Amino acid sequence: MSEYFDALETRDPAAREQALLAALSRQVAHARTHAPYFAQALRDVDPQALTSREALAALPVTRKAQLSALQQANAPLGGLNATPLGALRHIFQSPGPLHEPDGHGPDWWRTARAMYAAGFRRGELVYNTFSYHFTPAGMMMETGAHRLGCCVFPAGVGQTESQVQALSMLRPAAYAGTPSFLKILLERGAELGQPCSLAKALVSGEAMPPSLRAWFVERGIKVHQMYGTADVGLIAYESEGADGWVVDEGVLVEIVEPGGTRPMPEGEVGEVVVTVLGNEDYPLIRFGTGDLSAVVPGSSSTPSPCGRTNIRLRGWLGRADQTTKVKGMFVHPGQIGEVMRRHPELRAARLVVTGAPGADVMTLHCDATRQDAGLADAIAVSMRDVMRLKGEVRFVPAGSLPQDGKVIEDARSYD
């Protein structure tokens, strides 16, 4: 049996890039024609001209933070769907509240690929503890398992003792759920003297520290992580021996400046922006997830130790939304990006807020190609125009700003 889900995972990177850009052109054409939101947002875009990453980077970013307002104005999906509601299978709701669709067809969220990399195989029983209520997480895993030819026990969340009993009776080989709940089940099972047959797990929904992974290994369970969202489905996943998380073959992933649209250099932290390819129901184009990550340096040209050739992410590194209230006004990361766009001399910038609450001091730390009073004054004027607040400008040595994805740092004292 192959160690890969399909041949796409090991194809030549140049061939993959060509295929992704061709799919991008088709997806944009489809979205402009069938999804009301994208008909407006992409009205000036020629799909046939999208033949490079640079052309992709010129498209607007639609951020997850915008969805609530869009969906309230045009319920339930904000006009981002390209398929009428009657042709969809489900509408789910995540905290926000935000609504996500589920269309017809096998493995709609493409999770089978991550499950296969985690060792799930045809004929196995998958014990699925993700919720089937309101949110799509349970269904995301179930449809992926069915694509592989697995049987699913829809355990859902909670009822720990009943779940321990079910695990003992069913003796499944594979687990899907959060790592913390897997630990709870194993600990409670040990207390009750119930045997555990689990040998593999695909976990998501929360971070898994190395210490917890080691704890699972001690108990004979090999755990892999999956990174995805209810909106776009699978984004990246762990594979055996991989350096980083391998990006899914069904998406085009960019790392962009937090709050902005400009792609970040390989290795630098930024916001994960995803374009879903081939999804005719919900054709998201440059969707800003709000998550921070970075491309593993060299992964665009060097295969993973597992043999997969797609780029790899460093994992989930936090949230990009760093909105901060200064003197009673909200300051957004996108506003820092707007100031930078007004001044091409800025290579990087970081807004640092200091002082005590009510006596806030806002200072923009700037890495610039030239550092003089004229530029400082011009940047200060842009800050007032964009943020409606006065701020100071401080030039810093080239390359000295931390590469941690932050564009706003709240350094105020709250003692």
Q: What is the pLDDT of residues 154-178, one digit of tens each?
A: 999 889 999 999 999 999 999 999 9
Q: Which fold has domain 105-230?
A: Rossmann fold (3.40.50)
For residue 346, list its beta bridge partners: 368
Question: What pLDDT is attached to residue 39?
Answer: 98
Q: Quick check: do 105-230 and 326-410 share a fold?
A: no
CA–CA separation, 400 and 403 (whole Å): 9
pLDDT single digits (tens) 215-254 = 999 999 999 999 999 999 999 999 998 789 999 999 999 9
Q: What pLDDT is attached to residue 244? A: 94
b/e code 348-363 from CB counts within 10 Å (16+ = b)? bbbbbbeeeeeebbbb
Count how many Cα atoms sit within 13 Å of the Cα of residue 121 in the half-sphere of its side chain: 8
**305-316 pLDDT per residue, tens:** 999 999 999 998
- What mean pLDDT is reported for the chain? 93
**Inter-residue contact 404 to 314 (CB < 8 Å):** no
- Place 358 in a pLDDT band, splitting at 50, 70 and 90: low
Contacts of 155 (CB under 8 A, 6+ apart): 127, 128, 129, 163, 166, 177
- The answer on pLDDT for 357 being more than 70 is no
Does 413 score more than 80 pLDDT?
no
201 contacts 216 by C-beta, under 8 angstroms: yes
163, 129 in Cβ contact below 8 A?
A: yes
Confidence of residue 331 (pLDDT cuts 50, 70, 90): confident
Band of residue 367 on the pLDDT scale cut at 50, 70, 90? very high
For CA atoms 130, 135, 141, 147, the dihedral sign is positive
Task: For 132-141, write each residue's pLDDT tens digit.
Answer: 999 999 999 9
**pLDDT at 316 (0 to 100):** 86
pLDDT of 231 reads: 95
DSSP string, 300-340: TTS--TTS--S-EE-----BS---EEETTEEE-HHHHHHHH
346-354/361-368 β-pairing:
antiparallel
Which residues are paired to 126 by β-bridges? Answer: 152, 174
Q: Which CATH superfamily is domain 326-410 in?
A: ANL, C-terminal domain (3.30.300.30)
pLDDT band at 1 (very low <50, low <70, confident <90, very high): low
CB 10 within 8 A of CB 308: yes
Which sequence spans correspond to the domains of the chain?
26-98+247-314, 105-230, 326-410
Burial-class residue 287 by CB neighbours within 10 Å (0-12, 13-18, 19+). buried
Predicted local confidence at residue 299, as pLDDT: 94
- Looking at residue 150, what is its pLDDT? 98
